Amino acid sequence: MVTRDIDILKKTASMVSMTIATDNDPLAKLLEPNAPPPSERLKAVETLIEKGIPTSVRIDPIIPFLNDDFKNLIKTLSQLGVKHVTGSTYKTRPDNWRRISQALPEAAKKLRPLYFRKGEKMGGCVLLSHDLRLKLMKDMGRLAESHHIRFGTCRENLSFLNTAACDGSWLLQKKL
């Protein structure tokens, strides 16, 4: 839908941030049953960049055993001209844990100890352990850097890994 507003976006100081959790359409359908598939989102990213709209991609949520191999996605984003990615891990809450457990029961069995035995409570959520979040975000940051993409992580208490503002706002350009 965002591509229909390209004319408006071109006239204002704007940038677009799009979430793409995985480049695997079938997995994405399980994770986000009512969202457009990643293949369509990647086409939208490509169109936005071709039209001169700065675009950041949020790779979120990263979930161990499901979408924690983001090499191909970052390579694709680089090829499309993305200059910024934000990474963030899955944070469990009762409602989303119930949905993950029902949609992906085998993965939930493996995830349960990572969150409910080794994880950290923060606010109303349970996060992966600090060490596992650090490893995942370091890996993503290094990969992004190797593709000349700036990196940021939000809501992980790991802002020291950021090479740019986690929200991609540095991409905003003033229009005359």
In a domain, 86, yes or no: yes
In a domain, 39, yes or no: yes
The domain that contains 164 carries what CATH number?
Answer: 3.20.20.70
Total domains, the chain: 1
Please determine, for residue 174, whether its predicted confidence score (pLDDT) is greater than 80.
no
Which domain covers residue 79, as residue numbers? 2-90+130-171
Long-range Cβ contact pairs of 69-72 (< 8 A, separation 24 or more): 70/22, 70/140, 70/143, 71/143, 72/23
List, for residues 34-81, the tens digit of each pLDDT value.
999 999 999 999 999 999 999 999 999 999 999 999 999 999 999 999
In a domain, 72, yes or no: yes
In a domain, 63, yes or no: yes
List, for residues 139-164, the tens digit of each pLDDT value.
999 999 999 999 999 999 999 999 99
- pTM of the full predicted structure? 0.94
Omega within 30 of 0 (cis) for the link into 61? yes
SS3 at position 164: coil
User: CA distances (Å), 170 to each of 15, 80, 163, in order?
Assistant: 9, 19, 11
